[in-house]
Amino acid sequence: MVPQSSPSDFTRPTPETHPKIRFWDQSDWNAFLESSEGRLSTRRTLGFLEEDNGDPPSDSTAKAIRKTLRGGWAELANRKLAPKSWGRLCASGRQLTHNLMESAFPLFRFAKNGWKLDYLASNSYPAWRKTHLDSEGNWKMKKSQDCEDDDEDTEMDKKDKKWKLLEANVKSETPDKRMKGECIPCNLNEPW
């Protein structure tokens, strides 16, 4: 179930209420990445996300964030709102995703204009979409679910098995390969 409350229902955090948050704007994050501190940082790929104490999320929280976000994308697909690219997301799809993620993970609220969620989604959504949705935004059929052309698939499976059996029974006529620099025993009594 997707939460129906909107982010405006909550008191939005501000730099004044949360002074330990460093990356309110994407430009803050980009400047950090270009700094010497950023180049040496161990903040990892979700380093732009910050708990209320300014620390990056734990590994378990990062895993939960990704799982919930994928669930949000699945909901978009089920509602026929899945965009071809994250930048083309409609307003209702954006609201659904932001409400879901900001309710489950308040750390997404430590950003002006929701840039942190949009940044994460724009970097990871394309691969998810390519894996799970077809070009029209519909779920891809798994091979076991595909009922069309079952007879042809069965025939192809039989042919594939036949070739695999034939290949397994064929032995190479070439001698075993040697590794470069491998020592080969020889008879020193034979003339060169």
In a domain, 53, yes or no: yes
In angstroms, the CA 120 to CA 36 distance is 23
Q: Is residue 161 assigned to a domain?
A: no
Assigned domain for 148 exists: no
44 assigned to some structural domain: yes
Structural domain boundaries enclosing 92: 7-132
User: Mind listing the pLDDT tens digit for each residue in 74-85?
Assistant: 999 999 999 999
- Domain membership of residue 66 (yes or no) is yes
| Mean predicted confidence (pLDDT) in 136-147 | 77
Total tally of structural domains belonging to the chain:
1
pLDDT score for 45: 83
Asked if residue 72 belongs to a domain, the reply is yes
18-32, 35-49, 166-180: least confidently modelled range: 166-180
In a domain, 144, yes or no: no
Query: pLDDT-based confidence at 1, cuts 50/70/90?
Result: very low
